[in-house]
């Protein structure tokens, strides 16, 4: 049995009790349990004693209050463990992260037991609730009391809550605005520390949640989906039979470099449910795809246009092509089967789009309803497998209710049975599913390049948004932004060509859909075109070099022995960035430099020889950028 800590420290006055907690493996963070005025809190502090985040805990069910008046019975002594695994795609391949674990045992006023498990990593805290004595019981959850309080002087980058998670993350600096907010929520604490709040390890046992500070601007409460989500289909309150554990409530804490490099969302999520032996998962193949929709919204109906995008993928050496919505109406010389056969003849594997279907979505784009039931999916996956299709993109879910979470997982589990990869669009935020289901290659949940189709907002704000996403949305999971465009969609971009090229490395996704027209890639300078033919999507290492949300982003990523550095300027003024490549091993490297030219539509390509101590000075135009590719001599 674990040793129990029974010491109780009286703090200032009898209404407040702080119970001995745990330190992170490096000693820089401390988490402990505090009870005050009938509430129970998990408090996260720096090793110096400065409080970072205070979280009220608890929830209610139809028959029990597990929030107010909880009695803390014991807190186990911290034990140091290591989360170690190999990721098939993501910002880091080999994961080995130590954490300190402890567990609080409590009981409600009526004597019902509750456990709170805490894991304190060097880059933050995760905790969850567990009910073990619920075997044979029907649980209906009626609300959460989990609520985060941060220092009032914190700066905040928050996205208004919508079920597609497609929104801006504007800085809420002049006023602490109130309302409903989607995960992740980024806060700059007083000083140089940042906190990114989200949730992870979501299973069928619960709904997805979001944050709401409507009642108190300083307190961000975890709340359930809205009743109107999914056209009102499905219950708001989640239900479960038997023993239960909640999703993890996670607070990633540290410098911006810690936020960008963190894998905590995956670290606390369940290990793969499909066969976890990497040698058997060769069908899960990250890669690059051409994509017709961005330039020609309805052109998957056109067989000849689809052939052009197959030819683009073949010429560029990309693994995939995506046949998007309305492929069931394909004409002009061929139908879907012909397009798939043509792609395979060019050594390009196709992905196929589906509407999630059902009465939960008002979007009636076809094919509709073919993913909706297990029987539908068995029939469709059998057909797709016979054609040679590699994966499916499923769109328009429009709800975070428990019913919809089950639907996502049904699709993933049925797809795995047919060795079919998956990409979700019009969907919820990543919550660690790509670890549990490694064939989930990406999720949209982002205000991405598709928005150039919809309104001029992206034209005016695209560069700034691109310098927000790495610290927020892309920090918690793969992001199908559909990057890299040199021509224009319905609304033009104002980012420079070098900025667009840098997006190929700046953003992470297990499958990258390069969005531009064929001529946008084929008319690039030869070395830029060669980069787009060779750029990887799986990274062994990710390091933030410099940057600040909404202003700039400079990241180094390693694939094998090759390093890349992507730099983005998010502002309307020119900027000079200094790069010290101290991430390089000893020796000299040939560096190909893609920089802003004299105008935004020019990419200046040069070559240099550098070592780890050489300084690189990069000049960026307004909304500009650069890309560096390092090859050891």
Give 3-state DSSP helix, strand, coil % of the chain, rounded to 5.
20, 35, 45
Q: What is the CATH number of the domain that holds 60?
A: 2.70.98.10
Q: Is residue 546 part of a domain?
A: no
Pick the last residue of a domain from 506, 536, 566. Answer: 536
Same domain, 324 and 408: yes
pLDDT digits (tens, 9 = 90+) for 71-86: 999 999 999 999 999 9
Pick the last residue of a domain from 232, 267, 302. Answer: 267
**How large is the average pLDDT for residues 616-621?**
98
Q: Is residue 600 part of a domain?
A: yes
Q: What is the CA radius of gyration of the chain?
A: 25
Same domain, 529 and 561: no
Same domain, 431 and 580: no
Q: What CA–CA distances, in Å, run from 114 to 125, 330, 439? A: 19, 56, 34
Same domain, 197 and 301: no
Instruction: Give the pLDDT confidence score for residue 500 in this predicted structure.
Output: 98
pTM of the model: 0.96
- 179: number of CA atoms within 13 Å, CB side? 11
Instruction: Give the pLDDT confidence score for residue 12 in this predicted structure.
Output: 38
**How large is the average pLDDT for residues 10-26?**
69
Confidence of residue 3 (pLDDT cuts 50, 70, 90): very low
pLDDT digits (tens, 9 = 90+) for 335-372: 999 999 999 999 999 999 999 999 999 999 999 999 99
| Domains: count for the chain | 3
Q: How many CB atoms lie within 10 A of CB 215?
A: 9
Query: Is 67's pLDDT higher than 50?
Result: yes
Angle at 538 (CA atoms; ends 533, 542), nearest 5 degrees: 115
Confidence of residue 152 (pLDDT cuts 50, 70, 90): confident
Same domain, 489 and 372: yes
**211, 222 Cβ separation under 8 angstroms:** yes
pLDDT digits (tens, 9 = 90+) for 244-300: 999 999 999 999 999 999 999 999 999 997 665 556 789 999 999 999 999 999 999
Same domain, 444 and 402: yes
Q: Is residue 486 part of a domain?
A: yes
Q: Is residue 160 part of a domain?
A: yes
Same domain, 307 and 204: no
Helix (H, G, I), strand (E, B) or coil at 328: helix
Q: Is residue 272 part of a domain?
A: no
Element (H, E) at 393: strand 391-395
Angle at 119 (CA atoms; ends 117, 121), nearest 5 degrees: 170
Q: What is the CATH number of the domain that holds 322?
A: 3.20.20.70
Instruction: Give the pLDDT confidence score for residue 280 in this predicted structure.
Output: 79
Domain of residue 386 covers 286-536
Q: Is residue 454 part of a domain?
A: yes
The number of residues making up the chain comes to 633
| Sign of the CA dihedral running 572, 577, 583, 585 | positive
Instruction: Give the pLDDT confidence score for residue 17 in this predicted structure.
Output: 74
State the average pLDDT for the chain.
95
Same domain, 73 and 197: yes
Q: Is residue 376 part of a domain?
A: yes
How far apart are the C-alpha atoms of 221 and 147, rounded to whole Å?
A: 4
Q: Is residue 458 part of a domain?
A: yes
Pick the last residue of a domain from 510, 536, 562. Answer: 536
Same domain, 525 and 570: no
Instruction: Give the pLDDT confidence score for residue 15 in this predicted structure.
Output: 60
- 574: number of CA atoms within 13 Å, CB side? 11
Instruction: Give the pLDDT confidence score for residue 518 in this predicted structure.
Output: 98
Same domain, 491 and 609: no
Helix (H, G, I), strand (E, B) or coil at 284: coil
Percent of the chain surpassing pLDDT 70: 96
Please indicate whether residue 188 or residue 7 has the higher confidence score (pLDDT): 188
Same domain, 367 and 322: yes
Query: Is 1's pLDDT higher than 90?
Result: no
Tokens for 431, please give them.
């919550």
Task: Identify how many contiguous H helices and E strands the chain contains and give both numbers.
Answer: 11, 38
Q: What is the CATH number of the domain that holds 567?
A: 2.60.40.1180
Same domain, 452 and 596: no
């Amino acid at each position: 049995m674990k040793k129990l800590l029974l010491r109780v420290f009286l703090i200032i006055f009898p209404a407040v009790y702080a119970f001995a907690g745990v330190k992170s493996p490096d000693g820089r963070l401390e988490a402990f349990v505090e009870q005050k005025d009938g509430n129970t809190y998990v408090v996260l502090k720096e090793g110096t004693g400065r409080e970072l985040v205070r979280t009220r805990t608890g929830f209610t069910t139809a028959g029990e209050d597990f929030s107010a008046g909880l009695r803390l019975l014991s807190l186990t002594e911290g034990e140091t463990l290591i989360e170690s695994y190999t990721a098939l795609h993501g910002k880091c391949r080999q994961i080995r992260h130590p954490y300190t674990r402890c567990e609080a045992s409590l009981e409600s006023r009526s004597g019902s037991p509750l456990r709170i498990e805490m894991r304190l990593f060097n880059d933050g805290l995760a905790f969850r609730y567990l009910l073990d004595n619920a075997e044979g019981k029907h649980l209906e959850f009626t609300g959460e009391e989990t609520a985060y309080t941060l220092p009032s002087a914190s700066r905040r980058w928050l996205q208004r809550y919508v079920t597609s998670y497609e929104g801006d993350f504007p800085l809420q600096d002049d006023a602490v605005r109130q309302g409903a907010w989607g995960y992740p929520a980024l806060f700059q604490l007083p000083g140089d520390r940042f906190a990114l709040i989200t949730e992870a390890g979501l299973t069928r046992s619960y709904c997805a949640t979001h944050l709401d500070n409507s009642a108190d601007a300083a307190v961000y409460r975890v709340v359930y989906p809205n009743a109107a989500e999914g056209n009102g289909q499905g219950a708001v309150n989640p239900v479960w039979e038997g023993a239960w554990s909640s999703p993890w409530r996670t607070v990633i804490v540290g410098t911006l470099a810690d936020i960008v490099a963190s894998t905590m969302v995956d670290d606390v999520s369940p290990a793969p449910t499909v066969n976890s032996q990497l040698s058997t998962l060769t069908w899960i193949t990250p890669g690059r795809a051409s994509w017709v929709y961005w330039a020609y919204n309805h052109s998957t109906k056109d067989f000849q246009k689809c052939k052009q995008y197959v030819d683009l993928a073949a010429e560029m050496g990309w693994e995939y092509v995506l046949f998007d919505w309305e492929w069931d109406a394909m004409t002009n010389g061929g139908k879907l089967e012909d397009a798939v056969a043509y792609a395979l003849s060019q050594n390009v594997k196709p992905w196929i789009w589906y509407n999630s279907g059902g009465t939960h979505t008002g979007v009636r784009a076809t094919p509709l309803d073919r993913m909706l039931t297990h029987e539908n999916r068995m029939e469709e996956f059998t057909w797709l497998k016979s054609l040679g299709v590699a994966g499916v993109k499923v769109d328009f879910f429009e709800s975070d209710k428990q019913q919809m979470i089950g639907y996502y997982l049904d699709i993933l589990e049925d797809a795995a049975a047919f060795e079919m990869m998956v990409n979700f669009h019009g969907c919820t935020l990543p919550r660690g599913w790509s670890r549990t289901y490694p064939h989930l290659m990406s999720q949209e949940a982002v205000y991405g390049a598709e928005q150039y189709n919809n309104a001029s907002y992206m034209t005016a704000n695209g560069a700034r948004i691109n310098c927000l996403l790495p610290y927020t949305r892309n920090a918690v999971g793969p992001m199908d932004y559909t990057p890299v465009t040199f021509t224009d969609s319905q609304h033009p971009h104002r980012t420079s060509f070098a900025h667009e090229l840098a997006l190929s490395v700046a953003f992470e996704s297990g499958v990258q859909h390069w969005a531009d027209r064929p001529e946008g890639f084929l008319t690039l300078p030869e070395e830029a075109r060669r980069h787009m033919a060779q750029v990887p999507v799986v990274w062994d290492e990710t390091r933030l070099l410099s940057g600040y949300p909404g202003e700039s982003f400079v990241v180094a990523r390693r694939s094998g022995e090759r390093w890349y550095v992507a730099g983005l300027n998010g502002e309307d003024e020119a900027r000079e960035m200094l790069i010290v490549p101290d991430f390089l091993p000893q020796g000299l490297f040939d560096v190909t430099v893609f920089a802003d030219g004299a105008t935004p539509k020019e990419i200046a390509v040069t070559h240099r020889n550098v070592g780890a101590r050489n300084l690189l000075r990069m000049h960026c135009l307004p909304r500009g950028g650069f890309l560096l590719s390092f090859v050891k001599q």
